Structure 1
């Protein structure tokens, strides 16, 4: 086996083996099949990258198909958000399709299964059906309606379709094997009565296909070659194939289901039901709250498509589930932002500093780089004046030898400006420093080429001119949960692990260029972290979300 073969993941190996066995490459077709019952989350990014990545690798089309079989939970809002997420990640789908496009075909196939003795109408309540299935170690109990006459089932099924029965009165079940150790094969329900309007078909249907019936048959209708899904569907594969057996025709592509491990990330949950609860109980502000593990939330927080795709590539395609450290995701976010983020100066805990020997009412516009990691990023000018803001933590009246920031009698360089020396302070009645007084060396201007400008001091501080400062609201986001696996303990409600300090609001000041910041554009607040402008911003008060801190000690192995 050559090096290229060794580098294939197990899904790629399956595809290569199928091609070697005679599957024409032009028959390869993939799909990403979300249910439009919520926003996509971090776990979905893996499925998206796998399916669209295979499409790109093999030059094969990839469908976006919404498995919209449950009108109780599905909304157009979710459809729109899913399309926006995929577009943001940089993927293009061949066709936008819906399981509801196939409702007529699915119904006709179900009728044929009744005729063939493969399905029947059961008038038992769902609770009784569940009880009769028993468990994998005990044979199930057959429904008393299992062997009812075909014509009777056909007539009842037609009446179900017309809405002549109440919800829960009956269902259509596949006739498979009530003794199978695989519970999915114990006469699964194919259709249930549901008198709810559908976001696409309106009031046309009074019955809706179950996911397991619609999902695989939709794959077949679209002639998907490889139906890739997460590991929890592995025990659904026999049912997937059994349903396919009922409709398969010669000389068509028989789709192959294969499963990969789900992606679980620490401090995140990937249950749509639980995410819905966070939204419903207002633990967050919505599906795109920056603390949410949704793609929309991560986008709003400031994550980039490149960082997410690099993270997925690093995690790889595996057959066994494990918990991925969130710090690995943040590592890739930092790595990409370091390349693309515009460097700016902002102060989030300001204290005023007055340069006493700088002329009053004078200002300068000093040159500073936009991103030293990008030679094409260019530079901009920032205003400098007698009064500036610096970070409160960057000053101490007394500091030890390891404190390289500003202290009384000590010198630092102001980024892209001058060397200053702290002389004295003013304090309020509580001993809180209100103003720092300093002097500057006019010959030490950065980039001036003078000997003094080349003089080295150990500390460099960011700053903002007080006269030009732009007031900003800074939102400091942290983990939404206090424990790495908030939904792992069955005895404890995951909501009890919500971090009360997951969001803090800070009022700060920024250089005036941020007045023109674009929503979603990445910025590095120098020496603080990476930030992005939020959609809640107003002209009077821009709002910036902290994406990640500037550094942490994490290094991927």
Structure 2
């Protein structure tokens, strides 16, 4: 067992107490996603929690797909979920597990409930069942089919399984208490007819267990000791325990609930994320603007930063909203420490150095990181023609403008001091070129005449640099709570969440960046080589996050 005890994880204390008291001898947890979409940042918290607790107590964690609804599931989602778990740095115990692997056992237990008089086949349609169920203030009414004999129920259940009845015509329900104040205990559905091919079992079954019926029994089969889920399942715990009490299960898991991760400026409903994909608002589940794990990965978030973020927010018994700037701080902090530096000019403006030889290429040395010598140095090609960012030049400016101004000096990062002399403009009056001169012998030194440069700007050689596609990202939603209450989240999509720059210029060495390799583009932000599209002949970089850490500065 690990000695370090998280100060903000109440489940850690519960498990430690269970082990000390001998209630459990080995910790067994599970991560049980439904394969009906890509995982999002909220799932990252659950992954870190379940796998992290197993690691902390030298236990084991299963990966189990709760694939009880074939209408919304697919092998694509199964594969993406496994990839996300591994990318975050975790490995599940033994083979991947599926609820569908237990279908026969679950069916046998459904028959057991019928034989014991604890379940029945009901013919009410959905509208009738809703009416009979009652409300939060009024008790429900017993189904007219509630008192069918055991023999009739067994026969109908078997015929449901055999495919004799149409979808929605019959269900199997638990016989509990239609007057219970807990709506989940009012004869909940255990099986429903769905004549849909299943991605694991094919057409072997045409009835499928509900999540509520399957989940606890799957936990029992696998010997789960601590079944950890989010707070919305708290009201389902009495049913979870009732089913364990009424079935001959091989073990007795216990369910615990924690507060889910809610981020402002973010939507995490799988249904709504799917709508964004289906309606083309984003370019797939892994679009870098999406809060999916694969989207965050493609944007340049590291597994290390997401795990740190999950540690920062902790595990509590209450739901709350976390400022997305806190997650941004985690990746900014990580990349500031680990990302090599490089230069990129997003909006190029040509600078011609009139006193620098046309045929000369000088190679200057620059550190890859200001404080990590082990990352080495890189070579920068310095030539007569350069690109600087258009925003770094003004014909006239006040003293607060610390960049290049006509008649003034500025230092090119890791290179010479230059002085702007004149400009060339096009017919529309737009500046298309700056004429400047190099101040000799100023690489790493101040000018000998004592006239210092006003600031430092980035640059790229116009002849030795390379063109690149750069995607600048902002938050996908412009509203702090896009899916709260009556808000139409689709109407709150930020129309400026993506800016595509196809004419950026980068240091020549960046074309050899590996996919998913991150850099700090100096004075611009943190960027990552696109994991799917970046190639040496066509470099593509995605913006991860800007340099300014407003959360850490207390401005959010």
TM-score, normalising length from structure 2? 0.96
Q: Tell me the residue number matched to 2:71.
A: 72
Provide the secondary structure at the position in 1 that maps to 2:246.
helix
Which digits, 9 at most, give the CA deviation of each residue in 1:85-140, with x for residues without a partner? 11111111113101111001000000011000000011111221121111122110
Provide the secondary structure at the position in 2 that maps to 1:303.
coil
Provide the secondary structure at the position in 2 that maps to 1:237.
helix
Q: Tell me the residue number matched to 2:175.
A: 175
CA contact (8 A) 2:221 2:251 kept: no
Deviation at 1:197, TM superposition (A): 0.5
Q: Tell me the residue number matched to 2:262.
A: 264
Aligned 1:17-416 pairs, distance under 5 A: 17-26=17-26, 28-95=27-94, 96-248=96-248, 253-416=251-414
Q: Distance in 2 between matches of 1:260 and 1:60?
A: 20
Deviation at 1:342, TM superposition (A): 1.6
CA contact (8 A) 1:133 1:186 kept: yes
1:494 partnered with 2:493: no
Q: Tell me the residue number matched to 2:474.
A: 478
Q: Tell me the residue number matched to 2:500.
A: 505
Q: Distance in 1 between matches of 2:452 and 2:59?
A: 58
Deviation at 1:19, TM superposition (A): 1.8
Q: Distance in 1 between matches of 2:42 and 2:389?
A: 38
Deviation at 1:236, TM superposition (A): 0.5
Question: Where do 5+ consecutive residues of structure 1 fail to align?
Answer: none
CA contact (8 A) 1:71 1:199 kept: yes
Q: Distance in 2 between matches of 1:128 and 1:392?
A: 68
Q: Distance in 2 between matches of 1:148 and 1:129?
A: 17
Q: Distance in 1 between matches of 2:337 and 2:552?
A: 18
Deviation at 1:16, TM superposition (A): 1.9
Deviation at 1:442, TM superposition (A): 2.2
CA contact (8 A) 2:8 2:315 kept: no
Provide the secondary structure at the position in 2 that maps to 1:431.
coil
Q: Distance in 1 between matches of 2:476 and 2:374?
A: 37
1:553 partnered with 2:550: yes
TM-aligned CA distance change 1:136 to 1:450, over 3 Å: closer
Q: Tell me the residue number matched to 1:435.
A: 433
TM-aligned CA distance change 1:556 to 1:12, over 3 Å: farther
CA contact (8 A) 1:443 1:453 kept: no
Q: Distance in 1 between matches of 2:268 and 2:139?
A: 34
Q: Distance in 1 between matches of 2:22 and 2:253?
A: 15
CA contact (8 A) 2:511 2:537 kept: no
Provide the secondary structure at the position in 2 that maps to 1:25.
coil
Q: Distance in 2 between matches of 1:453 and 1:154?
A: 99
Which digits, 9 at most, give the CA deviation of each residue in 1:40-96, with x for residues without a partner? 001111111111110111010000000000000000000110011111111111131
Deviation at 1:518, TM superposition (A): 1.3
CA contact (8 A) 1:248 1:254 kept: no
Which digits, 9 at most, give the CA deviation of each residue in 1:476-517, with x for residues without a partner? 111111101101032x42101011111111121111111111
TM-aligned CA distance change 1:462 to 1:110, over 3 Å: same
Q: Distance in 1 between matches of 2:161 and 2:228?
A: 32
Deviation at 1:172, TM superposition (A): 0.4
Provide the secondary structure at the position in 2 that maps to 1:430.
coil
Deviation at 1:255, TM superposition (A): 0.6
TM-aligned CA distance change 1:469 to 1:453, over 3 Å: farther
Deviation at 1:455, TM superposition (A): 8.5
Which digits, 9 at most, give the CA deviation of each residue in 1:380-404, with x for residues without a partner? 1111100000001111111211111
Q: Tell me the residue number matched to 2:538.
A: 541
Provide the secondary structure at the position in 2 that maps to 1:68.
coil
Which digits, 9 at most, give the CA deviation of each residue in 1:318-376, with x for residues without a partner? 11111111111101110001111121111001100001000111101111111123221
Question: Where do 5+ consecutive residues of structure 2 fail to align?
Answer: none
Deviation at 1:417, TM superposition (A): 1.1
Provide the secondary structure at the position in 2 that maps to 1:467.
coil
Q: Distance in 2 between matches of 1:88 and 1:536?
A: 19
Which digits, 9 at most, give the CA deviation of each residue in 1:522-541, with x for residues without a partner? 01111101111122334442
Provide the secondary structure at the position in 2 that maps to 1:443.
coil
Q: Distance in 2 between matches of 1:68 and 1:147?
A: 31
Which digits, 9 at most, give the CA deviation of each residue in 1:8-34, with x for residues without a partner? 6221121122123212432x1000000
Deviation at 1:550, TM superposition (A): 1.4
TM-score, normalising length from structure 1? 0.96
CA contact (8 A) 1:445 1:453 kept: no
CA contact (8 A) 1:63 1:94 kept: yes
CA contact (8 A) 1:415 1:460 kept: yes
